[in-house]
Amino acid sequence: MKAVIRDFKAIGNIYTKQVYIGREIVFTENQLKDLKVNGFITYEGFQLQADELDFAGNLQDTSKYDKIFAIMEKEFHRLQEPFDALVAAVELNFNLIFYGPGGYGKSEITLRFFQLLKEHGMINSEPFIKSLGEGTTSDDLYGGVDMKLLTKEGTINFNCEQSFLNHEYVIFEEFFDAPSSALLSLKDTLTAKELRNGDQTFPSKNKIIIALTNQSKQEFNKGNSTNALNQRFPLSFELVWKNEGSTDFISLFKKKFRGDRSEERRVGKEC
C-alpha cells in the first residue's frame, strides 16, 4: 500500500515541510496496522498523521466503483473528492470523520454511497445509522439496558445485538454533539474492539465507522482522552466548496430538481 504526503503538521519549518510534501511512502504491513490503531506513524522521527496522507490515487483496482460514481455524479455536485474519501475508508477499512458546514450533502452522499454498494453486491449488509446528540448516553449507544435481566437479577447489561457493535458498517450522525461521557465510552470500546461492561463482553463486528459532524478533529480535541478517540479515526475529510460561486449553486439545483426548470430559473435570478 502506498500514499502521498500532502501535509506534515509536526514540522513547523515551512521550507523543511516542502521537502516532504508530495513524497510517496510505501507502507509495511505493521505500519498500516499502526496507522489504523493509532492514527499516525513515526516517519523520520516525526508523527505523521493518517489524515495528512493521500491514499485515493494509490488504492488498487478502484475501477469497480466507476459505475457507482457515474450514478452519483448525476445527483451530487463536486463529488470526486468526497467519493474518493469514502472509497479509501472502505478499501482500507479505516474509520472516517466526514466533516464540514451543514448543507453540502455529507449525509446524503454517505447514505447514497452505501446504498449503491449494497445494491451492486459490494457489501453484504446495509449500514447501521444512528444520530448522536446532547442526550446520547452509554445505555443508548449500546442498545439500551436489558430490562428483563435487570428486573430478574439486578444486573445492568446492554442489548448489544441491537447496537452499532453488531454491524459491519456504521454511520454516526452529529458525532461530536454527543456528551463526552458517551464518546469516552465509545473510545474505550473501539480501542478494545469489544464492549467491556463488568461481566458482559460483546465483540465488535465493525469494519468501518463513518462519523458525520460539523466539527473537525482539531476543533473537537479537548485533551488526551478526546485525542485518543480521534486516533480511532485515521481518515478525515472536509466537505466544503472552495471558491464557491453562483455556478455551483445552479449546478446543485439542476441535479437536485431535475426536470423542474422553474427552480433552476429562480435560483439563476437570485444568484
Tens digit of pLDDT per residue, the chain (271 long)?
A: 778 888 888 888 887 888 889 898 888 888 888 887 778 888 888 888 887 887 766 666 678 999 999 999 999 988 999 999 999 899 888 999 999 998 889 999 999 999 999 999 999 999 999 999 899 999 999 999 999 999 999 889 999 999 999 999 999 999 999 998 999 999 999 989 999 999 999 999 999 999 999 988 777 776 666 778 888 898 888 998 776 555 655 565 566 656 554 444 444 444 4
Distance CA 234, CA 40 (A): 7
Distance CA 218, CA 230 (A): 9
127: Cβ–Cβ under 8 A, 6 or more apart, which residues?
111, 114, 167, 169, 170, 171, 210
pLDDT value of residue 143: 95
pLDDT value of residue 224: 62
Distance CA 155, CA 141 (A): 18
Look up cell 446532547; give the residue. 134
Closest C-alpha to 104, from 271, 268, 239, 224: 239
The cell numbers describing 108, all together, are 446524503
pLDDT value of residue 267: 44
User: Buried (b) or exposed (e) across 29-49, using 16+ Cβ within 10 A?
Assistant: eeebebbbebbbbebeeeebb
pLDDT value of residue 244: 59
Helix (H) or strand (E) holding 192: helix 180-192
